[in-house]
Structure formats: structure tokens, C-alpha cells
């Protein structure tokens, strides 16, 4: 058995060793505190990495050991290079768990999924071991690495999980020979809706730099957001479908987008025919004028 497997098995055994357990009403909580490169709502900018920062809150009234699992997935086929889980508290979180502290990744049961285990067990009699009552902090981060621009319009999701390597979703305390078991709640960003079967999901958006600049009140897009944006437009506007030429197929694509036909724009800058900063019916009129010889001149791509 590998060393990490041995440590994990030991930790799970230590957390589950005493019985019968008493399930408590005050459960504690784990929540998505923030997501890097989130522009607004549940929108995350591409390309690059996406990091979920998790907030742990212990309001159980007891010091606890922890055993939690998470799952990252995409319901519509977004992909990334790899997944990592790290402690972001400079070692102070790990220090609570002197018996075993484990952060691990396992391949998911669905291609593209990954499952993550966070496990910590401390000496019950030691004064500064196990997660203390009243603790609140953001000690754990889960990062999806190198999401390309082609994920535009798709989603990535994070949910609690009972899968390997976490195996369980509980916090445990021992007092007077009795094991007290807590089932911490898991939630997304404030007000974020839960998607059954997926968890808390985020829309991946390859936002044109010109549009981002406009939405940030004309301030420097890169300086303000600290996140990537797209300069995908080449030459002039009009290549709505990304085929490399402006023709009637671009008109069909723009109609499908504007009428709610489900078309996803590969480059919003190209579809913003009149370069007014938003894709709407005026762009359709401009493209029709250009294609029918009405004299409309396609503007240069925005800088």
C-alpha cells in the first residue's frame, strides 16, 4: 500500500473509531468564499486558471477532526489540464492536525471529473490540536489549471462529495468517551443557487477586452480585473462564426444568437458589428447593409 493510502486509511479509522455517535444540530459549515477571476455573478473569465477558495466555520461548540470530500466537474464538457488542492493558511490549518493531515486528488468517475479529499485528525488531549470551536477562515483552495478559450460558454462546478479519497463528509469530536458527529453544510457564494447533480456552477466567459473595458467604466481592463480578456477580433468586425470570412453564414449565426436560438458567439468583438460595445439588433442591421451592398463599412476591431 502506498504511504498516502496508509495515512488516509489511518486517519479515517481514527475519525470513525468510536461509537455510537451522536449527531448534533449545530453542524458547522464549508462555503465557497470566492472564486478567482470572477467578473460578476457566477461568471468567470477565460483563459487561465480557476481557484475556489473555501471557508471553514466551526460553530459546533467543540474541537473537531475533519473528513470532507469535494467533486469538480463540468456538465457541458469544459476541460482543464489538472486539479490541485492546497492549504492556503501558511501551515496554521495543518498544525491543528498532528496525527494526520491529508489533501489529495483522485480521478473522477466521469471523464473530466476530479474528486478531492481533505482530512485532518489531531490528538484529542492536546490543547491546540483539532479544529477549534469558533474557527473561521479560508484555509483550503482547489484550483483547475489552464482552462482554454474554447471553454467559452461552458461551466465548471464544485460540490460536496462522498467519493474517494475523502470517503466521508463529517466532522467528529470526542467528549467523555462519546463520539459526536457533525455534518457541516456546504454552500456556494452568497445567494448562489444549487444545481442538482453538479453543485455550485460557474459560467466560463471569454470576454472581449473592449467589452470588459466598457463594463468597467472605461478603466484599464487588465489593471482593474487582474484577469484575462480576449482580443479575438482580427482586422475588422463581422466574422461572427469565426470561419475567416464575412458572408451570409455570419448573418445566420448572428440571427441565431439574437433570437435565442442557442448559438454561442466564438468572439463577441466580431459580432459587435458596429463596435458600439454591445451585440444587439443594430449590429444585425449593419451586417445586412454590408452584405447587400448598402454602403456600410465594417469598422476596425476595437483595441
Average pLDDT of the chain?
83
Among positive and negative, which fits the CA dihedral 289, 294, 300, 302? Answer: negative
Q: Which of 186, 205, 224 is the last residue of a domain?
A: 205
Q: Which of 205, 235, 258 is the last residue of a domain?
A: 205
Same domain? 192 vs 109: yes
* Domain assignment of residue 129, given as a range: 3-205
Same domain? 69 vs 196: yes
Same domain? 254 vs 120: no
Angle at 71 between CA 56 and CA 203, to 5 degrees: 90
pLDDT of 32 above 80: yes
pLDDT of 271 above 90: yes
Mind giving me the DSSP string for 196-251?
TTTBEEEEEE--BHHHHHHHTTTS-HHHHH-S--B----SBS--TTSSSS-SHHHH
Q: What is the pLDDT of residue 160?
A: 93
> CB-based burial of residue 124 (10 Å sphere; 0-12 exposed, 13-18 middle, 19+ buried)?
middle
Q: Is residue 301 part of a domain?
A: no
* Rounded distance between C-alpha atoms, residue 292 and residue 146, angstroms: 42
Check which CATH number belongs to the domain holding 221 and give it: 1.10.1330.10
pLDDT of 303 above 70: no
Q: Which of 205, 238, 270 is the last residue of a domain?
A: 205
Same domain? 213 vs 188: no
Of 151, 118, 283, 125, nearest to 230 by C-alpha is 151
Same domain? 64 vs 112: yes
Per residue in 236-251, pLDDT (tens digit) is 999 999 888 999 999 9
Looking at the 3D structure of the chain, how many domains does it have? 2
- Which of 4-13, 19-28, 85-94, 141-150 shows the lowest per-residue confidence on average (mean pLDDT)? 4-13
Mean per-residue pLDDT, 48-66: 95
Mind giving me the DSSP string for 244-256?
SS-SHHHHHHHHH
For the chain, give me the number of helices (H) and strands (E)? 6, 15
Question: Residue 10 belongs to what H/E stretch?
Answer: helix 3-16
pLDDT of 224 above 70: no
Residue 270, helix vs strand vs coil:
helix
Q: What is the pLDDT of residue 139?
A: 96
Q: Is residue 125 part of a domain?
A: yes
Same domain? 259 vs 145: no
Per-residue pLDDT band at 218 (split at 50, 70, 90): very low
Q: Is residue 150 part of a domain?
A: yes
Same domain? 263 vs 159: no
Same domain? 247 vs 140: no
| Residue predicted with more confidence, 167 or 267 | 267
Q: What is the pLDDT of residue 9?
A: 44
Q: Is residue 298 part of a domain?
A: no
Q: What is the pLDDT of residue 39?
A: 78
Contact 161, 83 (CB under 8 A): no
Contact 100, 118 (CB under 8 A): no
Name, in order, each residue with C-beta under 8 angstroms of 109's C-beta and a sequence gap of 6 or more: 115, 163
Per residue in 12-29, pLDDT (tens digit) is 444 443 334 555 556 899
Q: Is residue 302 part of a domain?
A: no
* Rounded distance between C-alpha atoms, residue 64 and residue 174, angstroms: 8
Check which CATH number belongs to the domain holding 177 and give it: 2.60.40.680
Q: What is the pLDDT of residue 150?
A: 85
Same domain? 119 vs 248: no
Same domain? 58 vs 172: yes
Same domain? 171 vs 214: no
Same domain? 218 vs 197: no
Of 120, 14, 132, nearest to 66 by C-alpha is 120
Q: Is residue 167 part of a domain?
A: yes
Amino acid at each position: 500500500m502506498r504511504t498516502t493510502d496508509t495515512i488516509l486509511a489511518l486517519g479515517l479509522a481514527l475519525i470513525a473509531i468510536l461509537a455510537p455517535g451522536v449527531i448534533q444540530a449545530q453542524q458547522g459549515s464549508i462555503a465557497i468564499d470566492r472564486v478567482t477571476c470572477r467578473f460578476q455573478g457566477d461568471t468567470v473569465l477565460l483563459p487561465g486558471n480557476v481557484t475556489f477558495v473555501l471557508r471553514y466555520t466551526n460553530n459546533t461548540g467543540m474541537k473537531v477532526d475533519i473528513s470532507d470530500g469535494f467533486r469538480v466537474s463540468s456538465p457541458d464538457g469544459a476541460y482543464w489540464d489538472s486539479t490541485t488542492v492546497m492549504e492556503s493558511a501558511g501551515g496554521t490549518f495543518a498544525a491543528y492536525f498532528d496525527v494526520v493531515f491529508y489533501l489529495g486528488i483522485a480521478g473522477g468517475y466521469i471523464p473530466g471529473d476530479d474528486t478531492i479529499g481533505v482530512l485532518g485528525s489531531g490528538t484529542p488531549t492536546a490543547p491546540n490540536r483539532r479544529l477549534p470551536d469558533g474557527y473561521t477562515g479560508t484555509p483550503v483552495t482547489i484550483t483547475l489549471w489552464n482552462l482554454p478559450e474554447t471553454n467559452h460558454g461552458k461551466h465548471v462546478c464544485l460540490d460536496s462529495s462522498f467519493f474517494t479519497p475523502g470517503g466521508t463528509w463529517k466532522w467528529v469530536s470526542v467528549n467523555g468517551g462519546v463520539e459526536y458527529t457533525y455534518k457541516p453544510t456546504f454552500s456556494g457564494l452568497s445567494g448562489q443557487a444549487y444545481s442538482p447533480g453538479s453543485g455550485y456552477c460557474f459560467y466560463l466567459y471569454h470576454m472581449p477586452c473592449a467589452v470588459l473595458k466598457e463594463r468597467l467604466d472605461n478603466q484599464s481592463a487588465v489593471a482593474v480585473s487582474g484577469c484575462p480578456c480576449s482580443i479575438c477580433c482580427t482586422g475588422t468586425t463581422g466574422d461572427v462564426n469565426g470561419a475567416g470570412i464575412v458572408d451570409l453564414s455570419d448573418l445566420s449565426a448572428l440571427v441565431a444568437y439574437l433570437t435565442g436560438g442557442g448559438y454561442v458567439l466564438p468572439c463577441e468583438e466580431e459580432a459587435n458589428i458596429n463596435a458600439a460595445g454591445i451585440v444587439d439588433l443594430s449590429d444585425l442591421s449593419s451586417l445586412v447593409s454590408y452584405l447587400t451592398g448598402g454602403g456600410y463599412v465594417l469598422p476596425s476591431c476595437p483595441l
